[in-house]
Chain A
Amino acid sequence: MLPRRAASLNKRLIGNHTYNNFDEWVAAIRNTGNGFQNTLDWVSCFALAVNEENASFGRVVTAPTNGAAGVIPAVLQYYIVFCDGFSNERIVQFLLTASEIGSIFKKGATISAAMGGCQAEIGVSSAMAAAALTECLGGTQRQVLMAAEIAMEHHLGMTCDPIGGLVQVPCIERNTMGAIKAITASQLALQTNPDNAKVSLDAVVKTMWQTALDMNSKYKETSDGGLAINIPISLPEC
């Protein structure tokens, strides 16, 4: 059995800052500073929180799936807390941009790990979050698409091999990775002239789909390969 980690991480990171609700919590997190390690810890904390809820049969929002449900809220929460993004208009902008990128992947490839491995879940959610963050940070439309492309490009080939058939290992931590890659992809896109991009978003959608078709079924949410067969479930891992 795995312990939940987000709550104790939150407690450590928040220190002596007090709060009684979500809005006060946002302010309290801001008061913990914006150093790189602190920010990184918070992003992980947000993503772990959502996917621990998910693993516990909690109420979650598909984004675009449940297994990858932590990436978009973690990046949105990062934007709210650390990029001064706590406004209704910005949150609407974020969700709308993210959803269109998810739709493009669903239409041109898949958002099912049983069809395409983890690249289709964490990869897609990371691309969605990267695009949404880029638009909210003032990127051009082409930089937004570029951010989505970069995020997916670095998830290509990622397998789905959940231990014990549970949406826990590697799924929960992987949401932290999807979130941080989304932020990095967004920053890269914002610092890059899209005229120089070699790979278009459509090209990476097509590549993800071809990779999905080529992937051995052992790595498509069957628990017949990968970590699922190398980690005995009875051992208290982590």
Chain B
Amino acid sequence: MKREQISVFDIFKIGIGPSSSHTLGPWRAAQQFVQLLEQKDVLQLVTGVKILLYGSLAKTGKGHGTDIAILLGLSGDDPVTFAVNQVGPKTDDIRNSHKLVLGGKKEVEFFANDDLLFLFNESLPYHPNAVTFQAFLNNGTAVSETYYSIGGGFVVTEGGQDQPKAEADLPFPIDTASNLLHWCIKTGLKISEVVMENELAWRSEQETLQGLSNIFNSLKECIYRGCHTQGWLPGGLNVAPPRGQS
């Protein structure tokens, strides 16, 4: 079996809440589906889309913002950079205008009640978090793809393949804690030093430290903002509370 390679930047990813598997993952899946349409050179032929949510994505998707994430992902917005204070306004606008601009390039009609379906009683066998995207083309054909949001924002397609990531020649391959301990004993390095050596197989030390610095900045901004924002949490009684923050 091929070894799964996971970097520190696969584990720590900047995004938007509330759920990595139900918000960030579906968002990424929607972006990947638009990319697929572009790769197939059919984006401009699309006349409509339909999204089917299965299993846990259907059952808790509304509370977890799965629908919101999918609309923004299909629109070509990115969870790392999209302004969080625009999440509500932009998705409301899509729902009210019945217009969705795929990848920011191709406008199609969109009726959330008919085109974004929560299949509460259906589940796909590979993983409980499944979403199928369908795009209908003006030549009478359609493009369809199913994605699984397997946790932590990781997304795989049918067959369980991750989006291709550059395979690195890691100096210390690690699948288990005993592998990790083996390398520590052999080299005398600390765990963080072993991990850093592996990270350097993907990118330079400077890039790695910069990336970690970005992660820490996001962590500290989040904790600081959270400690200084009063108000109410959204959801619950389905009454939009004043958030009073950007």
Residues of A within 8 A of B (CB): 1-4, 6-8, 10, 22, 25, 45-46, 48-67, 69, 72-74, 76-77, 88, 91-100, 102-104, 106-108, 110-115, 120-121, 131, 135, 141-142, 144-145, 148-149, 162, 164-168, 200-202, 205, 217, 220-224, 233-234
Residue picked from A96, A144, A222, most chain B C-beta under 10 Å: A96
A-facing mask of B1-32, CB < 8 A → 1, else 0?
00010111011111111111111100000000
Contacting pair B11 A63 (CB below 8 A): yes
The answer, yes or no, to whether B166 is at the interface (CB within 8 Å) is no
CA distance A97 to B154 in the complex (A): 20
> Which B residues contact A (CB, under 8 angstroms)?
4, 6-8, 10-24, 55-56, 59-65, 68, 84, 87-88, 127-129, 149-154, 174-178, 180-181, 184-185, 190-192, 194-196, 199, 209, 212-213, 215-216, 218-237, 239, 241, 243, 245
Q: With A and B bound together, what is the CA distance between A51 and B19 in angstroms? A: 10
Whether the Cβ atoms of B152 and A62 lie closer than 8 Å is: yes
Partner of B151, one of A65, A98, A144: A65
Residue contact B153 to A62, C-beta cutoff 8 Å: yes
* Cα(A61)–Cα(B10), bound, Å: 11
A53 and B129: CB pair below 8 A? no
CB of A115 within 8 A of CB of B128, answer yes
Q: A50-B222, A141-B185, A145-B181 are in contact. List 4 more A-B contacts (CB 8 A).
A: A6-B229, A58-B225, A61-B222, A108-B176
Q: Is the CB of A112 within 8 A of B150?
A: yes
User: Of B174, B191, B230, B237, which is within 8 A of A7 by CB?
Assistant: B230
B192 adjacent to A55 (CB under 8 Å):
no
Q: Can you list 23 residue pairs at the A/B interface with Cβ under 8 Å?
A: A1-B239, A4-B229, A7-B230, A22-B221, A49-B223, A50-B219, A58-B17, A65-B19, A66-B15, A74-B223, A93-B190, A95-B215, A99-B12, A99-B195, A102-B6, A104-B175, A110-B151, A112-B21, A113-B21, A131-B191, A141-B184, A162-B60, A233-B236
Q: Which residues of B contact A164 (CB under 8 A)?
A: 63, 235-236
If over half of A's interface residues share one DSSP class (helix, strand or loop), that class is named, otherwise mixed; here it is: helix
CA distance A156 to B45 in the complex (A): 50
User: Provided the pairs A22-B224, A107-B175, A167-B63 are in contact, do residues A95 and B191 lie with their beta carbons within 8 angstroms?
Assistant: no
- In the complex, the chain B residue whose C-beta lies closest to that of A42 is B227
Identify which of B62, B68, B184, B226 gathers the most chain A CB atoms within 10 Å of its CB. B226
A-B contacts counted at CB < 8 A amount to: 315
State whether A96 and B8 are in contact (beta carbons under 8 Å apart), knowing that A57-B87, A200-B177 are contacts in the complex.
Answer: yes
- B197 CB to closest chain A CB, in angstroms? 10
- Bound-state CA distance A102–B21 (Å) is 15
Query: Within 8 Å CB of A114, what residues of B?
Result: 21, 55-56, 127-129, 151
Of all chain B residues, the one with the shortest Cβ separation from A80 is B220
From B213, which residue of chain A is reached at the shortest CB distance? A88
- With A107-B6, A141-B181 already in contact, the answer to whether A25 and B226 are too (CB < 8 A) is no
Once the chains bind, are A54 and B17 in contact (CB under 8 Å)? yes
Q: Are A103 and B222 in contact (CB under 8 A)?
A: no
